[in-house]
Amino acid sequence: MKDNSEFILRNQNRFNTVYKKGNSKGSRLLVVLYKKNGLPYSRVAYVSSKKVGNSVERNRSRRLMKESYRNIGREIMSGYDIIFVARNSINGTKCDEVKKCMFGVLRACDLFKTNR
């Protein structure tokens, strides 16, 4: 099994850098914060606060975001730290809806390798 731990944004200092100095775009279901990291690969994090709901709802929202990114992540440019933040409106939505929403936000951020 391939170790993907280097592709996960973990360090609190890196989170703070993206929050303070990065750019952001929002949609109905999620917010994307992103910043160039100067590396040949991108690091990604998925965040659900207690505003989203109880632990079951927060974990489901993270799983939806992870699956949506897994489907479109190969088309994203390398060299970015990306944080996906779930909004409470993500509760009760299907994966396809989250994927469409994520696709639209990432396109608005101009993070795709090709113009789509």
pLDDT tens-digit map of 53-107: 999 999 999 999 999 999 898 889 999 999 999 999 999 999 999 999 999 999 9
Is 114 among the domain residues?
no
- Is the separation of the CB atoms in 6 and 41 below 8 Å? yes
Q: Which residue range forms the structural domain that includes residue 43?
A: 5-108
27 falls within a domain? yes
In a domain, 101, yes or no: yes
- Cα distances (angstroms) measured from residue 27 to each of 5, 13, 65, 98: 28, 26, 13, 10
- Tell me the sheet residues that pair with 81: 35, 43
Written as six digits, the tokens of 75 are: 């088309």
Domain at 99, CATH number: 3.30.230.10
pTM of this prediction? Answer: 0.91
Residue 116 covered by a domain: no
What digits encode the pLDDT tens for the residues 11-70?
A: 888 889 999 999 999 999 999 999 999 899 999 999 999 999 999 999 999 999 999 999
How many separate domains does the chain show? 1
- Is 16 within a domain? yes
Contacts of 99 (CB under 8 A, 6+ apart): 67, 68, 71, 72
